[in-house]
Amino acid sequence: MADARSADVVIIGGGPGGYVAAIRAAQLGLSTVCVEMDKTLGGTCVNVGCIPSKALLTSTEHYEFARLHAAEHGVKLAGVSFDLAVMMKRKDSVVGQNTKGIEFLFKKNKIEWARGRGTLKPGNVVDVEGADGQTNSFQAKHVIIATGSIPVELPFLKFDEKRILSNIGALVVPEVPKHLIVIGGGVIGLELGSVWRRLGAKVTVVELQPTILPGNDADVIKEADKIFRKQGMEIRTGTKVTGAKQDGDRVLVDIDTDGKAETLDADYVLVSVGRKPWLTGIDATALGLELGERGEIVVDAEMRTNLPNVFAIGDAVGGKLLAHKAEEEGVVAAEVIAGHHARMDYKSMPSVVYTSPEIATVGLAEHEVKATGREYKVGKFPFSANGRARTMAQTSGFVKFIADAATDELLGCHIIGLNAADLIQEVVLAVEYRGSSEDIGITVHSHPTLSETVKEAALGVLGRSIHI
Amino acid sequence: MLPIKVPPLGESIVEATVSRWLKKQGDAVAGGDTIVELETDKITVEVPAPRAGVLSSLSVAEGDVVKVDQLLAELDEAAVAAAGSSADGDSASNAAPGGTGTATPSTDAKSSPAARRVAAEAGIDVAGVKGTGRGGVVSKPDVVEHVAQAAEKPKSAEQRGSVDAAPAVESRSDVTPKPSFVNAPSSNGERETREKMTTRRKRIAENLLQSQHATAHLTTFNEIDMSAVNALREKMKERVEKEHGVKLTFMPFFVKATCMALEGFPVVNAQIDADSIIYKHYVNMGIAVASDAGLVVPNIKDAHRKGVIELSRDIGAVAKRARDGKLSMDDLTGGTFTITNGGVFGSLVSTPIINYPQVGILGLHKTQERPIAMNGQVVIRPMMYVALSYDHRIVDGQQAVLFLVRVKELLEDPATMLIS
């Protein structure tokens, strides 16, 4: 290791956590190296996650609008069809713009992209093995582990990404499946299931838990379940997958609902039963790195691991597997390294499902608030009572607030409806400032906007919604 | 309103812990009065009031970690006249008048719209409510809780009201002593207590761990017959004290001998920077000092140029500053080698940890009379074990051993220090 170069910060992983940490570290004047073994930066999110799935969700939503809803606006379209190859090409080009964008930001901030597989060695040395077999070594003052996560595999349904798909394969299916079985009714399953359903696939979602989107607020789940079924998605909850068999282009999946066995016949299966931390290049045992029960790296509020000057962020540290969580954690780690005061606080961490309509959440679900034993009030307002939503002919869903009965402190907000992902943001800000429902209720909201649903639901907590 | 902010804390130090408030909200202060003490990993900083005034709000609590330039408190200069001579802290009767019941909602205090509405209805000023929102913003829950607490303790509130007549006295009694770190079981009978590490303790922990991880630590031992140094010190100490006003201890002899040995083995006084070795042509001798708040290592600048008496004086002065928590950044930075004396607590032998990025540390221990063999006879001599921990990356074993032998020879025959 005589030729080990030194750097203030070496980040292992160039996903949304890693690349944002790199930019923040560089902004703070630290010499920064980001190790990424893929051909492009951006990690799962940009390459095979958030970005490409949103590109396909948007394209297929336009198709569905043209097919089913244009007519009610008086727009006449004849012979509506789609070109899957063009959709895929557009998706790839969007991904390309994003990965190129990160490369540009790296150049702008003078961040070195060490291309290759990073391995953390004792003494904070990071070896980077390039595709050419050459190994570069970095002596890091500080290391940030941002190695991300991988999909959990079912033992009898190993990913081949041809018929048995993870999020990666489900984005590049060369044809529209006749019957797609989605195992796991969480975010990824519902989003990618929606894409292929809109293009004509029969989609069956099989979920082990009694409901889809387990853990979410019960009212939201009920509404989502109703809407998705109406859209044509088949949903089998409380159903266990007991086995599977591949027969040429067919995949036969054995399921069991309350002791009633059945075999589903499909041409593609998407397995989206969860993700787990992926510590490639990090030999936790040899390094003495402390891991939690699920193999996630244990960190404190400053994102420090138990090893000196080694930090970890993103999916690798567990918690909610969200790009924006990883980004914030990356910023905290970089600022702590630069000697600033920064702490991670998850109280106001939003999460979003990009189905149609969208589902967005911040804070606690009603059952979680109930479990704490505190007195609370609920305010709800439906999109059907909102003028703007009616003009857009998108009236399904509602906004729901849960606030402390005594202090009115916002405890949770759940939105299912058009543009929920953007509507939740003012609530996130309010929670950050320990706001109350009254703060939102007495703040002016432009008319006519969808955001008025948020204001009205907040007023609902106080029993004073105007338009219902 | 005059903001009082965290002053610059010195090179490479960006945060500190608020160790205690000497003044509280509403206190009248004179310019120069210390209002709060901050503790960094190295020194304690007293923050004075820049001018006379009344502390209208405190932005941080004891135990909070604060950054350079962060707002600590706001000083209302205009209120100084109203507070009258209580600014000088001499009279209780001149206290500022208490609240008159109806409060006008404060507009410049940071608060949410609902918080202002609730506060106005409850007839309280949001400025008097502690904010828990981001950046200390007072939220509606804060005001509701504040009102609820006030309702819960009407009795104690009345008592407070009566004390208001003598704010100057109250403020003095409010200067609470530092929390004691006694290991007594807690009053509520819990068998364990969880306590947040202070900034200083965290940095000490990090530095020690970094030294262990970043260096190739090795220790070599030897023992020194202290007879000659003892005799020399006995002979000289009264005269030195009389003529120079300095108490002659053993430490300056060790510093002198170490400096001379370092001259012969410059690598022990060096430092690693990436792939270079930096040789220092001077010795800034670090002396580890135990203080109430933890271990600190101030150093004596250019110790190699100083004689035993000057070293005696410098060591005495720096040790006093360390114990009083008055060390400057200059005292704490730039050391090239360190001596630590575990002997003062009775340690017979131990392996010191290198004060990274230095590469050597000399551990002194208790001098004890021991039977030793000398010229075929068993004799009793005052003996001291010494330990040299060194960074084996650049200091070879041979150099380390010979360096320590050199220290031993110089001290066993102090006259050689004259000749070298």
Residue A339: closest C-alpha in chain B: B14
Q: Residue B76 — pLDDT band, cuts 50, 70, 90?
A: confident
Q: What is the pLDDT of residue B100?
A: 33
Residue with tokens 């009566």, as numbered in its chain: B162
Beta-bridge partner residues of A337: none
* Residue A404 per-residue DSSP state: E
Q: Which residues of B touch A341 (CB under 8 A)?
A: 15, 65-67
**Is B145–A434 a contact, with Cβ atoms under 8 angstroms apart?**
no
Higher pLDDT pick, B105 / A335:
A335
- Tokens at residue A193, please? 């299931």
Residue B172 has pLDDT above 50, yes or no: no
Give CA–CA dist A18/A20, Å, rounded: 6
Backbone angles phi, psi at A125, to 5 degrees: -95, 135
Q: Which residues of B touch A339 (CB under 8 A)?
A: 12, 14-15
DSSP per-residue letters across A133-168: S-EEEEEEEEEEE---EEEPPBTTB---SSSEE-TT
**Is B114–A439 a contact, with Cβ atoms under 8 angstroms apart?**
yes
Residue B217 has pLDDT above 60, yes or no: yes
Give CA–CA dist B121/B393, Å, rounded: 71
Higher pLDDT pick, A432 / A138:
A138
Q: Which of A123, A339, A436 sits opposite B114 (nearest CB)?
A: A436
Give CA–CA dist B296/B319, Å, rounded: 10
Share of chain A above pLDDT 70, in %: 100
Return the H-helix or E-strand segment holding B210: helix B199-214
Distance from CA of B43 to the nearest CA of A (A): 17
Residue tagged active-site, from B174, B330, B396, B413: B396
Q: Residue B177 — pLDDT band, cuts 50, 70, 90?
A: very low
Q: What is the pLDDT of residue B82?
A: 41
A256-297 pLDDT tens trace = 999 999 999 999 999 999 999 999 999 999 999 999 999 999
Task: Show which residues on chain B lie within 8 Å of chain A, measured between beta carbons.
Answer: 12, 14-15, 65-67, 112-115, 117, 132-135, 137, 139-142, 144-145, 148, 206, 209-210, 213-214, 274-275
A428-451 pLDDT tens trace = 999 989 999 999 999 999 999 999
Higher pLDDT pick, B204 / A32:
A32
**Is B148–A406 a contact, with Cβ atoms under 8 angstroms apart?**
yes
Q: Which residues of B touch A124 (CB under 8 A)?
A: 213
Give CA–CA dist B82/A426, Å, rounded: 43
Judged by average pLDDT, the poorest of A1-5, A120-124, B105-109 is B105-109
Residue B168 has pLDDT above 60, yes or no: no
Report whether A143 contacts A305 (CB < 8 A).
Answer: no
Q: Residues near B276 by Cβ (< 8 Å), separated by ≥ 6? A: none
Complete edge-to-edge strand list for the sheet that includes strand A376-382:
A351-353, A358-363, A410-417, A398-404, A376-382
Is the peptide bond preceding residue B179 cis, with omega within 30 degrees of 0?
Answer: no
Residue tagged active-site, from B76, B125, B164, B392: B392
Q: What is the pLDDT of residue A242?
A: 95
Q: Across residues B73-102, what is the average pLDDT? A: 46
Give CA–CA dist A304/A298, Å, rounded: 8
Distance from CA of A376 to the nearest CA of B (A): 13
Q: How many CB pairs below 8 A link A and B?
A: 76
Q: What is the pLDDT of residue B121?
A: 81
**Is A439–B144 a contact, with Cβ atoms under 8 angstroms apart?**
no
Give CA–CA dist A277/A150, Å, rounded: 6
Give CA–CA dist A50/A15, Å, rounded: 11
Q: Which residues of A touch B139 (CB under 8 A)?
A: 409, 433-436, 439
Give CA–CA dist A142/A32, Å, rounded: 10
Mean pLDDT of chain B: 80
Q: What is the pLDDT of residue B108?
A: 54
Q: Which of A308, A407, A436 sits opposite B209 (nearest CB)?
A: A308
Q: What is the pLDDT of residue B99?
A: 34
Give CA–CA dist B248/B253, Å, rounded: 9
Residue B112: closest C-alpha in chain A: A439
Q: Residue A360 — pLDDT band, cuts 50, 70, 90?
A: very high
DSSP per-residue letters across A312-379: E-GGGG-SS--HHHHHHHHHHHHHHHTT-------TT--EEE-SSSEEEEEE--HHHHHHHT--EEEE
- Tokens at residue B288, please? 């580890």
Q: Across residues B280-308, what is the average pLDDT? A: 88
Higher pLDDT pick, A146 / B187:
A146
Q: What is the pLDDT of residue B62?
A: 84
Restricting to A residues 68-87, those with a Cβ less than 8 Å away from any Cβ of B are none
Q: Which residues of B touch A438 (CB under 8 A)?
A: 113-114, 117, 140
Q: What is the pLDDT of residue A1?
A: 46
In this prediction the ipTM stands at 0.70
**Is A435–B132 a contact, with Cβ atoms under 8 angstroms apart?**
no
Q: What is the pLDDT of residue B40?
A: 77
Q: Which residues of A touch B141 (CB under 8 A)?
A: 404, 407-409, 434, 436
Residue B306 has pLDDT above 80, yes or no: yes
Residue B259 has pLDDT above 90, yes or no: yes
**Is A434–B139 a contact, with Cβ atoms under 8 angstroms apart?**
yes
Q: What is the pLDDT of residue B74?
A: 85
Residue tagged active-site, from A69, A73, A340, A447: A447
Q: What is the pLDDT of residue A393?
A: 95
* Residue A67 per-residue DSSP state: I
A202-259 pLDDT tens trace = 999 999 999 999 999 999 999 999 999 999 999 999 999 999 999 999 999 999 999 9
Backbone angles phi, psi at A206, to 5 degrees: -110, 120
Share of chain A above pLDDT 90, in %: 96
Residue B83 has pLDDT above 50, yes or no: no
Q: What is the pLDDT of residue B187?
A: 53
The three-point CA angle B346-B351-B357 to 5° equals 125
Q: Which residues of A touch B145 (CB under 8 A)?
A: 407
B120-160 pLDDT tens trace = 888 888 888 888 887 788 999 999 988 888 777 654 433 33
Q: Residue B89 — pLDDT band, cuts 50, 70, 90?
A: very low
Q: What is the pLDDT of residue B328?
A: 79
Give CA–CA dist A331/A19, Å, rounded: 10
**Is B140–A439 a contact, with Cβ atoms under 8 angstroms apart?**
yes
Q: Which residues of A touch B135 (CB under 8 A)?
A: 433
Beta-bridge partner residues of A114: A35
Q: Residue B11 — pLDDT band, cuts 50, 70, 90?
A: low
Mean pLDDT of chain A: 96
Give CA–CA dist A239/A273, Å, rounded: 13
Restricting to A residues 413-442, those with a Cβ less than 8 Å away from any Cβ of B are 432-436, 438-439, 441-442
Q: Residue A71 — pLDDT band, cuts 50, 70, 90?
A: very high
Residue A463 has pLDDT above 70, yes or no: yes
Q: Which residues of A touch B275 (CB under 8 A)?
A: 2
Q: What is the pLDDT of residue B153?
A: 60
Phi-psi region of B283 (alpha: psi -120 to 50; beta: other; left: phi over 0): beta
Q: What is the pLDDT of residue B163?
A: 33
Residue with tokens 């430490």, as numbered in its chain: B251
Q: Which of A308, A433, A442 sits opposite B206 (nearest CB)?
A: A308
Q: Across residues B232-258, what is the average pLDDT? A: 91
Report whether B326 contacts B318 (CB < 8 A).
Answer: no
**Is B213–A443 a contact, with Cβ atoms under 8 angstroms apart?**
no
Nearest to A439 by CA among B71, B122, B207, B115: B115
Q: What is the pLDDT of residue B70?
A: 87
Residue B85 has pLDDT above 60, yes or no: no
Judged by average pLDDT, the poorest of A410-419, B95-104, B183-192 is B95-104
Residue B102 has pLDDT above 50, yes or no: no
**Is A439–B112 a contact, with Cβ atoms under 8 angstroms apart?**
yes
Is the peptide bond preceding residue B357 cis, with omega within 30 degrees of 0?
Answer: yes
Q: What is the pLDDT of residue A335?
A: 94
Q: Across residues B215-237, what is the average pLDDT? A: 93
> Helix (H, G, I), strand (E, B), or coil: what is residue B143?
helix
Q: Across residues B157-184, what is the average pLDDT? A: 37
Judged by average pLDDT, the poorest of B55-69, B85-99, B180-194, B281-295 is B85-99
Q: What is the pLDDT of residue B91?
A: 34
Higher pLDDT pick, B151 / A21:
A21
Give CA–CA dist A413/A435, Å, rounded: 12
Give CA–CA dist A270/A154, Å, rounded: 11
Q: Across residues B36-49, what is the average pLDDT? A: 79
- Intra-chain end-to-end CA distance of chain B, in Å: 64
Is B392 among the residues known to form the active site?
yes
Q: Residue B106 — pLDDT band, cuts 50, 70, 90?
A: very low
Q: Residue A387 — pLDDT band, cuts 50, 70, 90?
A: very high
Q: Across residues B317-327, what is the average pLDDT? A: 84
Distance from CA of A339 to the nearest CA of B (A): 6
Q: Residue B162 — pLDDT band, cuts 50, 70, 90?
A: very low
pTM: 0.61
Residue B184 has pLDDT above 70, yes or no: no
**Is A433–B114 a contact, with Cβ atoms under 8 angstroms apart?**
no
Q: Residue B189 — pLDDT band, cuts 50, 70, 90?
A: low
Q: Residues near A422 by Cβ (< 8 Å), separated by ≥ 6? A: none
B354-401 pLDDT tens trace = 998 899 999 999 999 999 999 999 999 999 999 999 999 999 999 999
Q: What is the pLDDT of residue A395?
A: 96
